[in-house]
Amino acid sequence: MAWHKVAVVAKDGAGNSITGGIQQHDTSGTGAGPNDPLVGLIDSTGAEVFGAVTDSKSASTDSTAVSAISIWKQISYSIQAVAAGVVALGTNVMANSMPVTVATDDTVLGATSSAAPASDTATANINGRLQRVAQNITSLISYFTTGLTPYGQIINSAPATNATFVKAAAAKVYRIEIYNQSGTGCWLKVYDKASAPTIGTDTPKYRIFAPAGGGAVNLYETGATFLNGIAYYVSGLLPDNDTTALASSTQISVNISYK
């Protein structure tokens, strides 16, 4: 199809010149006419603006000169590609993925260097919270894969010398045993305390009786929580303020298993 330039300079409605020109279809193929009233547009270089139906789809950048038909073909191809799954959805290698930039001052997501909060309820960004979760998981793994710590002592002295602390830090107690070989019953009093108990003043957490020539075993399947530490004292009577001395020939065994 040949085009014949009718006017070198076209005018818009306001009489302003439009770069390029207007062409009509020349049915003679020689420029001599007659001309069809079909109108086309060319740019200042004489290139057809709309292009030909045979123009290829555009794979160029936004600044490259291409025809309108090339652009529409590219749009059509992209739509069909998405529908046909040619454009892969989901995860991909970094080289084929669109970059995502996270703000360094993002108070919600945080940075990889964000510190874990001091407690599970403290305010923290997502990265800090994940670090706290990771710490808790590590603690749980360590807790369930670590065995109990055993403690044992034989007592054969007066009350003033058997007040004892086992652990000066928070712990969980799973087993308490007392065996009494003397001819008189006694009481094992266990305290939530980080130091030896003050006899006759401190209040015990547990009170366990061991009859003469017998004993007792207390089991705590999920662990009895001691927030401050583990301490104990063996006395002759039940009251918390009892300071009754044990006989000098007393033979008492105390065993405590804890974490």
How confident is the model over 242-252, as pLDDT tens digits?
Answer: 988 787 778 89
Domain-embedded: residue 176? yes
Q: How confident is the model at residue 8 (pLDDT cuts 50, 70, 90)?
A: very low
Are 251 and 156 spatial neighbours (Cβ–Cβ below 8 Å)? yes
More confident: 194 or 138: 194
Q: How confident is the model at residue 42 (pLDDT cuts 50, 70, 90)?
A: low
Residues 142 and 153 in one domain: no
From 45-49, 99-103, 117-121, 220-224, the region with the lowest mean pLDDT = 45-49
Q: How many CA atoms lie within 13 A of 102 on its CB side?
A: 9
Q: Which residue has the higher pLDDT, 99 or 185?
A: 185
Q: Do the domain assignments include residue 29?
A: yes
Domain, as residue range, for 7: 3-83
pLDDT at position 98 is: 65
Q: Which of 4-8, 138-142, 204-208, 255-259 has the lowest mean pLDDT?
A: 4-8
The answer to whether residues 176 and 235 belong to one domain is: yes
What is the mean pLDDT of the segment spanning 197-223?
Answer: 95
CA distance 157 to 233: 11
User: What confidence tier does 15 reach under pLDDT thresholds 50, 70, 90?
Assistant: low
Q: Shortest CA distance to 101 belongs to which of 111, 90, 116, 88?
A: 111
User: CA-to-CA distance for 49 and 10, rounded, in angstroms?
Assistant: 14
Indicate if 237 and 155 belong to the same structural domain. Answer: yes
For residues 70 and 123, membership in a common domain is answered with no
210, 171: one domain: yes
Sign of the torsion angle spanned by Cα atoms 58, 61, 64, 68: positive
